[in-house]
Amino acid sequence: KGSPSRSNGASPTHWQQNGGKALLSITISDPEKHGSSSSLTNAFVDFKIETRTELPQFCAKEFFVRRRYRDFVWLRKQLCEHFPGAIVPPLPVVDSLLTDDRFSADFVQRRQAGLELFLRRVVRHDELSTSTDLQMFLEAKVWELQTAKNQTAPSWYSMLFDGPEASLQRVRTSLTRKAPDGAPLERLRAFTNSYTS
């Protein structure tokens, strides 16, 4: 089969191993608007993410999904939580919702390029590229991804009433889970432990 189509200037994102042989190739293309312009709260744009891989953990060698910006936000949050010692790349930021129409061709094109850069950096990272959350993001059906997002999202009650102690406990837990040792990390651990007292 030929290489995936690359509309709107999309270029493949690669993760390479074994002497430069590409094992994971991701292309973001075909932005599509859903919902009406009159209802800006329900309208959104999603992107087609095509994946070609030889990695054994994936179910197929070629597949695609459609993802919207909030799905990328979930992926980044999961990567930050599960890899606290790693530098997780940033997502593209909104310039200004007051001056920039989020459905304009320029805005969508900038966002697509930023999301592709984000994924390119994630799949090139030794640890982040092995994430099961990344795998789910790349191959899960919409309802499967939504189920995973619902399981990992804090409830509105806990967000409102847990307070700073619970937030510090979450930080403390994530720091002790999988972070590498180091002086700056030890100072942060000591700070979170002493803060509650």
Q: What is the pLDDT of residue 176?
A: 57
Q: What is the pLDDT of residue 52?
A: 87
State yes or no: pLDDT of 151 exceeds 90: no
What's the pLDDT tens digit per position in 59-84?
Answer: 888 889 999 999 999 999 999 999 98
Pick the closest to residue 30 from 43, 45, 12, 47 (CA basis): 47
Prediction pTM value: 0.67
User: Mean pLDDT, to the nearest integer, of 127-143?
Assistant: 90
| pLDDT top residue among 187 and 129 | 129
